[in-house]
Structure 1
């Protein structure tokens, strides 16, 4: 009923899961991840206990393939109808598809990833996801890599029953909001006619609101640009003798505070300001 990818960033700092399904709120059931430990997707008559169990195994140094074998061996339930994918902080990912999962069902795994799905339009869903993942090795942002793979699966037919929900979870040590969390991205589309496209849109919004700007893109707040920004801020009710303080005040209202750098302005912030 679901297709998913668990993956690790090329530099090993981030771990995550992307998933889509004809199922309400798939993000509440399938994904789990723990920074510097691993990520897991449990699906097809999902055993939600796999999530803490897999992460506990990985945290003790058990590799992903051994963790998957342990999950299956310890499951007294509908194990032949289960599907699970696991990736650790190092080494290859691992996937399992029970013999009684609804067709088409299957998966594949390699260094730093595992892809799996059941009740799919066909094997091209997993194949195209794999191609998209392997072909995006130059993308440093794990969230975008995962969503690109998920979109490839969706475009290949995805869940043969249709579309309903999608989710993205990415963790990295200390890289969450304000540096006080390990949750880098946590987005859910619980009920939507085109959930994977909507998830990609939300990820773009997340980038705008929560990522810090690349230093090389910053524009110095001097001369005519400083005058323009000052006038626009005043027109929006944020006049201030100190331009940096005025810009920070306005950015806080607009939820753009992560992109504020004293003495400069992020082009995305400038575009947002000009659009108001």
Structure 2
């Protein structure tokens, strides 16, 4: 009922998944910034999530995590599972009673799997997209693989939901947890496309500025910013940015071009 990729990039781990299934993001993914990530699907076993992460935290390799979870599960023939750890190859498992087409592949730092697919071309397209996007950030790279699988046919029953979950040490809001992003499209005719839109919004609102692109708030630029902020009904850039949820992009005495573009946008009037 689902196709997914579980992967690692540096210290970050993530899962991207799509399915003809309501709220797939509430069922399939699990990740720990210090240990690894996994996806449980087909007839998903939600116990795999805490049990698998516990094994990964103790240093058990992905292939042995898969073997351990499957060995103690009397319904393993109906399960599908993908696991990655801090190093080496990922591991994927497809039970012999998963509905056709079902299968997966794995390599250094990734595992890709799917069931009730249009065919093996879905997995092949996901792997190719993952490998081709080696220079992209993990969230974008995962979504590129998911989009490739969707374009190749995806779930043969149709589309309904998708999710993207990425963790990295201190990557959460304000640096206070490890959740870099946790985006879910629960019920939508084009969930992967909608997930792209959500990731773009997430990057705008929760991304951090690139130090090499910051502009000094002096002279004419400072006056323009003061004028635009006043036109929005605020007395300070900080106040407007807080209302717009852009506080993560503020730098004293300078301005992120992303913030400046948002401030200049016509639809920011009155916000």
Give the TM-score band, short-chain normalised.
Answer: over 0.9
Q: CA deviation at 1:100?
A: 1.1
Aligned counterparts of 1:235 and 1:196: Cα–Cα separation in 2: 37
The 5 Å alignment of 1:61-72 reads: 61-72=59-70
Aligned counterparts of 1:210 and 1:235: Cα–Cα separation in 2: 24
- Give structure 1 regions of 4+ aligned residues with deviation exceeding 4 angstroms: none
Aligned counterparts of 1:145 and 1:58: Cα–Cα separation in 2: 23
Decide which of 159, 162, 167 is 1:163's aligned counterpart. 159
Q: CA deviation at 1:236?
A: 1.5
Q: CA deviation at 1:91?
A: 1.4
Aligned counterparts of 1:161 and 1:271: Cα–Cα separation in 2: 41
* Residue aligning to 2:222: 226
* Residue aligning to 1:47: 45
Decide which of 222, 234, 241 is 1:238's aligned counterpart. 234
TM-score normalised according to structure 2 size: 0.97
Cα root mean square deviation, aligned: 0.7
Decide which of 205, 208, 227 is 1:209's aligned counterpart. 205
State how many pairs are aligned.
266
- Secondary structure of the structure 1 residue equivalent to 2:92: strand
- Secondary structure of the structure 2 residue equivalent to 1:168: strand
Cα deviation per residue 1:174-233 (whole Å; 9 max; x = unaligned)?
111101011110000000000001001100110000010101111111111111111111
Aligned counterparts of 1:231 and 1:251: Cα–Cα separation in 2: 14
Decide which of 77, 80, 86 is 1:80's aligned counterpart. 77
**Gaps in structure 2 of 5+ consecutive residues:** none
* Residue aligning to 1:267: 257
TM-score normalised according to structure 1 size: 0.95
Aligned counterparts of 1:237 and 1:58: Cα–Cα separation in 2: 51
Q: CA deviation at 1:15?
A: 0.3
Cα deviation per residue 1:138-196 (whole Å; 9 max; x = unaligned)?
11x11111000000000000000000000011011111110101111000000000000
* Residue aligning to 1:258: 248
Aligned counterparts of 2:213 and 2:186: Cα–Cα separation in 1: 35
Aligned counterparts of 2:159 and 2:138: Cα–Cα separation in 1: 23
Aligned counterparts of 2:63 and 2:45: Cα–Cα separation in 1: 18
Cα deviation per residue 1:29-52 (whole Å; 9 max; x = unaligned)?
000001110101000011110111
* Residue aligning to 2:7: 7
* Residue aligning to 1:195: 191
Aligned counterparts of 1:112 and 1:98: Cα–Cα separation in 2: 22
The 5 Å alignment of 1:111-150 reads: 111-139=108-136, 141-150=137-146
Q: CA deviation at 1:266?
A: 1.0
**Gaps in structure 1 of 5+ consecutive residues:** 240-245
Aligned counterparts of 2:88 and 2:250: Cα–Cα separation in 1: 38
Aligned counterparts of 2:231 and 2:141: Cα–Cα separation in 1: 40
